[in-house]
């Protein structure tokens, strides 16, 4: 080996060390280097100009062009192409020959776990399709080579005519309840015994006596509650032991001391604690599965003689404490799965003894990660932190993990804090992606359309109803408040759309900052106030209209003062609903900052902090409100049809009335029923499309705010007439004004008949007109005729004074 000085010529727009350092940090360009010398070794040190000497292993002359990708980008193998972190393993080939999607770059399992799952995951014994070696065997069983398969034949005991010299017995899925002592004594050549899926409750001491060559024993899916001493310990050549899916509450771990076990599977049992686990004396144990038990604490004394253990899985237990030295006896461990436990804090040195660790899974723990909590894991390749909120996240938390190839977070925006890791999941949340706040191009256009439509419609109604001095009745007051609430939804959409434009193609760098910002909180509050005040006002309107139509001769009439008191109380209620989640971060967490659109529906993580409050608002309160609205309009419809039968009225206005009521009901159901249904599905753990959240928040939810101005104002004949009158009086002059007065005079002369023949729905809902002549068949019903007459008089008065239901 010869030490020689090399000359490095860097082809770039920058030539100084400082410029190289600045350009490398900013990630603006790639750097092409030509190295002349006997041999070349690539190091990032060249890019920042720190190295002037290198070590060479061979001699000769070479010239190599090497591209150093900026931080956060990674090279397509030997190609001079750099891809962003989010484009690796995203299902789309961006490099030539699909280098960014090949198995080696995207299938991250680590250690021995992948091999174990592939070979023994389905507990299947494969044989070569050859003739049977035995002439006599049970007629219900199958035979291939020296293997007898009696799978799912309903046996309650071992058949007596099993050949004594068989090597493998598959007795899966039968009805065995116990294994008596010396039951397998005559099968001295057996190497594999599969007894999974039976009803075995007890194994006598010496039940496997005589199986001196047994290597693999499968007992999963039975009803075992304990393994007595001496049951397994005599199987000195046993390598694989499958005891998963039983009811084991304790197990004598000394049983394994004198075996040759390589793999022990104890998943899906009821082990509450792992006492001192003495591995095989020869130290061959490589894989230990303890998932889905009830283990609570881990100590160093629990893992002895396991210096060669490579895979330890403890997911879905109740582990809340791990001692600082718990893993000191596991120097060879490569895979450690602690996912979905109850860990809240880990000692910063707990992983230091695991110098060979390649895979670490901490997903689903309510843990607070420490900045230096992963120190010592120099060989770690896969780190899974799914479903963990990392409020204190920093780049230096992962910077020491230089061998890391894959990292998984709860939210994709955390990926910006691990820029040196080639593959990071998730790639998005259905709403946003690495590049854009709104990932779907259709949504980017839709949000502007809905926002403009909502703002323009509600502003037009607010301005027009304010300018028309004659339109100051009770109905107009309620409609203007409804438009004000709906206008807040338009403002919310404009803010989200503006932020999408602001962060275009760079969103991941700003995502965490945006979702934690005060503007995002205010935006979410605006959306919440808009939704709740709008639906509460609709409830108020529906109840008032129902009372007016169903009880037309009541003496009580709501005054403007009372209406204002009710409306103010609804606004206060909506404001409180919006700001309560901001009062306590411990109770509500980032209630509005869980996604890029700042809306707290929480369907992807239904049990996020504050989920009870979200469920109460979107399920209990809103469902009750929608139910009241639907009930009131259906009751109004029934009341009008009942009156039709009394008067035998079948005019077109009445049919129009029914159609408009159906439009109101359908518009409310179209908005709220999908939202409530999806929220319930989320609590039911039903898989919901990632993109559904975006469509709910951007399109479905604001639909009522967009169409309310049309339903309650712009389609109303009386309002259009008044607005036209105002426009002509304000902007027409001379003859035009005179003509306008003349025309309006003509309209005024027939106002009563026009009012009674015009159905002002849904803004000025009035009952449909009734025929002035009652049907002779019901003329004898004096009380009904009197009530109908009162209703007709009320209708005429209502149309004249613009009293709406």
321-374 pLDDT tens trace: 999 999 998 999 999 999 999 999 999 899 999 999 999 999 999 999 988 889
Q: Does residue 178 carry a pLDDT above 90? A: yes
Going by pLDDT thresholds of 50, 70 and 90, the confidence category of residue 649 is low
- Are the CB atoms for 129 and 149 separated by under 8 Å? no
Strand-strand pairing, 142-144 and 147-149: antiparallel
Going by pLDDT thresholds of 50, 70 and 90, the confidence category of residue 657 is low
pLDDT in the model for residue 694: 78
Q: Please tell me the distance from the alpha carbon of residue 593 to that of residue 62, in angstroms, as a whole number.
A: 54
Q: Please tell me the distance from the alpha carbon of residue 416 to that of residue 509, in angstroms, as a whole number.
A: 6
The DSSP symbol for 720 reads H
- Which residue, among 324, 348, 349, 350, has the nearest Cα to 336 in the 3D structure? 350
Burial label, 699 (beta-carbon count in 10 A; 0-12, 13-18, 19+) = middle
- Are the CB atoms for 417 and 398 separated by under 8 Å? yes
From residue 285, give the alpha-carbon distance in Å to each of 59, 194, 226: 47, 21, 21
Give, to the nearest 10 degrees, the angle between helix 474-502 and helix 518-550.
150
Q: Does residue 693 carry a pLDDT above 60? A: yes
pLDDT in the model for residue 478: 86
Contacts of 746 (CB under 8 A, 6+ apart): none
Q: Does residue 238 carry a pLDDT above 70? A: yes
Q: Does residue 93 carry a pLDDT above 90? A: no
Going by pLDDT thresholds of 50, 70 and 90, the confidence category of residue 124 is very low
pLDDT in the model for residue 170: 94
Q: 500 or 282: which carries more pLDDT confidence?
A: 500
pLDDT in the model for residue 682: 84
The DSSP symbol for 422 reads S
Element (DSSP H or E) covering residue 645: helix 622-647
Q: Please tell me the distance from the alpha carbon of residue 54 to that of residue 37, in angstroms, as a whole number.
A: 10
Task: Extract long-range pairs of 232-239: CB within 8 Å, 24+ residues apart.
Answer: 232/208, 232/256, 232/259, 233/257, 233/258, 233/259, 234/206, 234/208, 234/209, 235/208, 235/211, 235/259, 236/212, 236/260, 237/212, 237/213, 238/214, 239/215, 239/263, 239/284
Q: Please tell me the distance from the alpha carbon of residue 205 to that of residue 194, in angstroms, as a whole number.
A: 19
Q: Please tell me the distance from the alpha carbon of residue 98 to that of residue 721, in angstroms, as a whole number.
A: 66
pLDDT in the model for residue 382: 94
Q: For residues 64-76, give the mean pLDDT.
A: 65
From residue 189, give the alpha-carbon distance in Å to each of 135, 248, 494: 17, 29, 77
Strand-strand pairing, 2-5 and 53-56: antiparallel
Q: Please tell me the distance from the alpha carbon of residue 19 to that of residue 17, in angstroms, as a whole number.
A: 6
- Which residue, among 208, 304, 222, 187, has the nearest Cα to 257 in the 3D structure? 304
CATH of domain 441-708: 1.20.1070.10
- Are the CB atoms for 521 and 593 separated by under 8 Å? yes
Q: What is the pLDDT of residues 287-328, one digit of tens each?
A: 999 999 999 999 887 887 788 899 999 999 999 999 999 999
Q: Does residue 129 carry a pLDDT above 60? A: no
The DSSP symbol for 323 reads -
Q: For residues 427-436, give the mean pLDDT.
A: 85
- Are the CB atoms for 250 and 273 separated by under 8 Å? no
- Are the CB atoms for 68 and 90 separated by under 8 Å? no
Q: Please tell me the distance from the alpha carbon of residue 542 to that of residue 505, in angstroms, as a whole number.
A: 46
Name the residue ranges covered by the structural domains of the chain: 2-70, 143-337, 340-347+356-427, 441-708
pLDDT in the model for residue 469: 60
Read out DSSP for 29-77?
A: --EEEEEEES-----GGGGGT--SEEEESS-S-EEEEEEEPPTTEEE-T
Q: Matching CATH topology for 340-347+356-427 and 441-708?
A: no
The phi, psi pair for 147, rounded to 5°, reads -115, 130
Q: Quick count: other Cβ atoms within 10 Å of Cβ 467?
A: 12
Strand partners, 67: 32
The lowest-confidence range among 52-56, 302-306, 391-395, 401-405 is 52-56
HEC sequence for 96-165 = HHHHHHCHHHHCCCCCCHHHHHHHHCCCCCCCCCCCECCCCCCCCCEEEECEEECCCCCCCCCCCCCCCC
Q: What is the pLDDT of residues 573-627, one digit of tens each?
A: 999 999 999 998 888 988 998 889 999 888 877 888 888 999 999 999 999 999 9
pLDDT in the model for residue 59: 36
pTM exceeds cut of 0.75: no
Q: What is the pLDDT of residues 203-223, one digit of tens each?
A: 988 899 999 999 999 999 999
pLDDT in the model for residue 470: 52
Q: Quick count: other Cβ atoms within 10 Å of Cβ 551?
A: 11
Q: 575 or 234: which carries more pLDDT confidence?
A: 575
Strand-strand pairing, 31-37 and 7-11: antiparallel
Q: For residues 622-645, give the mean pLDDT.
A: 84
468: tokens are 């028309």
pLDDT in the model for residue 315: 96
The lowest-confidence range among 65-74, 352-361, 496-505, 521-530 is 65-74
Give, to the nearest 10 degrees, the angle between helix 560-579 and helix 518-550.
150
pLDDT in the model for residue 196: 95
Most confident of 51-60, 272-281, 283-292, 762-771: 283-292
Q: For residues 396-415, give the mean pLDDT.
A: 90
pLDDT in the model for residue 750: 39
Q: Please tell me the distance from the alpha carbon of residue 781 to that of residue 646, in angstroms, as a whole number.
A: 9
Going by pLDDT thresholds of 50, 70 and 90, the confidence category of residue 256 is confident
Q: 236 by DSSP, 3-state: which?
A: coil
The lowest-confidence range among 107-111, 322-326, 368-372, 679-683 is 107-111
Residue-averaged pLDDT of the chain: 76
Q: 763 by DSSP, 3-state: which?
A: coil
CATH of domain 143-337: 3.80.10.10
pLDDT in the model for residue 105: 65
Going by pLDDT thresholds of 50, 70 and 90, the confidence category of residue 729 is low
Q: Does residue 84 carry a pLDDT above 90? A: no
Burial label, 764 (beta-carbon count in 10 A; 0-12, 13-18, 19+) = buried
Going by pLDDT thresholds of 50, 70 and 90, the confidence category of residue 62 is very low
Contacts of 371 (CB under 8 A, 6+ apart): 392, 394, 396, 397
Q: Please tell me the distance from the alpha carbon of residue 666 to that of residue 762, in angstroms, as a whole number.
A: 13
- Which residue, among 592, 450, 618, 463, has the nearest Cα to 531 in the 3D structure? 618
Per the listing, tokens 């007992």 go with 219
- pLDDT > 70: percent of the chain: 71
Superfamily of domain 340-347+356-427: Ribonuclease Inhibitor (3.80.10.10)
Report angle CA 612, 616, 622 to the nearest 5 degrees: 155
313: tokens are 């899985």
């Amino acid at each position: 080996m010869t030490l020689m000085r090399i000359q490095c010529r860097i082809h770039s727009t920058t030539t100084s060390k400082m410029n190289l350092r600045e350009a490398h940090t900013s990630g603006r360009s790639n750097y092409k280097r030509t190295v002349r010398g006997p041999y070349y070794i690539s190091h990032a040190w060249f890019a920042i100009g720190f190295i002037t000497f290198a070590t060479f292993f061979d001699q000769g002359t070479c010239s190599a062009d090497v591209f150093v990708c900026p931080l956060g980008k990674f090279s397509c193998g030997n190609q001079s192409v750099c891809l962003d972190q989010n484009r690796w393993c995203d299902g789309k080939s961006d490099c030539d020959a699909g280098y960014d999607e090949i198995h080696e770059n995207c299938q991250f399992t680590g250690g021995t776990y992948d091999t174990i799952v592939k070979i023994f995951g389905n507990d299947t014994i494969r044989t070569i399709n050859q003739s049977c070696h035995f002439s006599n065997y049970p007629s219900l069983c199958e035979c291939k080579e020296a293997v007898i398969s009696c799978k799912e034949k309903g046996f309650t005991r071992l058949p007596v005519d099993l050949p004594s010299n068989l090597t493998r017995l598959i007795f899966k899925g039968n009805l065995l309840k116990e294994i008596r002592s010396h039951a397998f004594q005559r099968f001295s050549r057996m190497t594999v015994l599969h007894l999974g899926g039976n009803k075995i409750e007890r194994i006598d001491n010496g039940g496997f006596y005589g199986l001196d060559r047994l290597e693999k024993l499968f007992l999963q899916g039975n009803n075992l509650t304990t393994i007595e001493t001496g049951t397994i310990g005599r199987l000195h050549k046993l390598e694989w032991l499958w005891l998963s899916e039983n009811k084991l509450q304790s197990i004598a771990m000394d049983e394994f001391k004198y075996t040759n076990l390589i793999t022990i599977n104890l998943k899906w049992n009821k082990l509450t604690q792992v006492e001192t686990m003495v591995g095989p004396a020869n130290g061959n144990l490589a894989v230990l599965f303890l998932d889905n038990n009830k283990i609570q604490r881990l100590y160093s004394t629990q893992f002895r003689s396991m210096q060669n253990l490579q895979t330890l899985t403890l997911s879905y237990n109740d582990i809340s404490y791990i001692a600082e030295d718990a893993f000191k006896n596991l120097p060879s461990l490569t895979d450690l799965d602690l996912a979905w436990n109850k860990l809240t804090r880990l000692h910063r040195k707990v992983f230091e003894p695991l110098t060979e660790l390649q895979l670490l899974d901490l997903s689903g723990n309510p843990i607070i990660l420490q900045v230096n909590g992963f120190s010592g894991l120099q060989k770690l390749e896969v780190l899974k932190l799914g479903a963990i909120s990392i409020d204190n996240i920093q780049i230096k938390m992962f910077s020491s993990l230089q061998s890391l190839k894959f990292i998984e977070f709860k939210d994709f925006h955390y990926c910006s804090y691990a820029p040196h890791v080639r593959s990071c999941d998730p790639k998005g949340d259905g709403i946003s992606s690495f590049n854009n706040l709104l990932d779907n191009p259709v949504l980017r256009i839709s949000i502007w359309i809905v926002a403009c439509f909502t703002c323009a419609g509600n502003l037009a109604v607010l301005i027009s109803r304010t300018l028309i001095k004659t339109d100051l009745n009770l109905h107009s007051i309620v409609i203007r408040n409804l438009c004000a609430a709906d206008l807040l939804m338009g403002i919310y959409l404009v803010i989200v759309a503006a932020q999408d434009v602001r962060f275009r193609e760079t969103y991941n760098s700003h995502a965490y900052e945006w979702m934690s910002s005060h503007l995002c909180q205010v935006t979410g509050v605006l959306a919440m106030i808009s939704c709740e005040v709008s639906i509460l006002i609709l409830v108020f309107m529906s109840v008032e209209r129902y009372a007016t139509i169903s009880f037309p001769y009541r003496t009580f009439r709501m005054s403007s003062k009372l209406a204002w008191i009710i409306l103010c109380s609804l606004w206060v209620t909506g404001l409180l609903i919006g700001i309560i989640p901001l009062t306590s971060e411990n109770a509500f967490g980032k209630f509005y900052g869980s996604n890029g659109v700042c809306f707290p529906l929480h369907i992807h993580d239904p049990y996020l902090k504050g989920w009870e409050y979200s469920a109460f608002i979107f399920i209990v309160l809103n469902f009750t409100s929608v139910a009241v609205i639907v009930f009131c309009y259906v009751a109004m419809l029934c009341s009008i049809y009942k009156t039709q039968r009394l008067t035998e009225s079948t005019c077109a206005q009445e049919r129009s009335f029914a159609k408009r009521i159906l439009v109101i009901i359908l518009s409310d159901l179209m908005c709220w029923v999908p939202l409530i249904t999806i929220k319930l599905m989320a609590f039911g753990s039903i898989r919901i499309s990632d993109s559904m959240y975006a469509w709910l928040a951007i399109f479905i939810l604001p639909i009522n705010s967009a169409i309310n101005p049309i339903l309650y104002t712009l389609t109303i004949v009386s309002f259009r007439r008044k607005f036209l009158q105002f426009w002509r009086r304000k902007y027409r002059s001379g003859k035009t004004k005179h003509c306008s007065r003349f025309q309006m005079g003509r309209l005024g002369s027939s106002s009563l008949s026009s009012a009674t023949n015009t159905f002002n729905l849904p803004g000025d809902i009035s009952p449909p007109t009734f025929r002035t002549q009652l049907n002779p068949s019901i003329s004898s019903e004096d009380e009904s005729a009197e009530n109908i007459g009162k209703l007709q008089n009320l209708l005429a008065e209502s149309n004249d004074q613009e009293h709406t239901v």
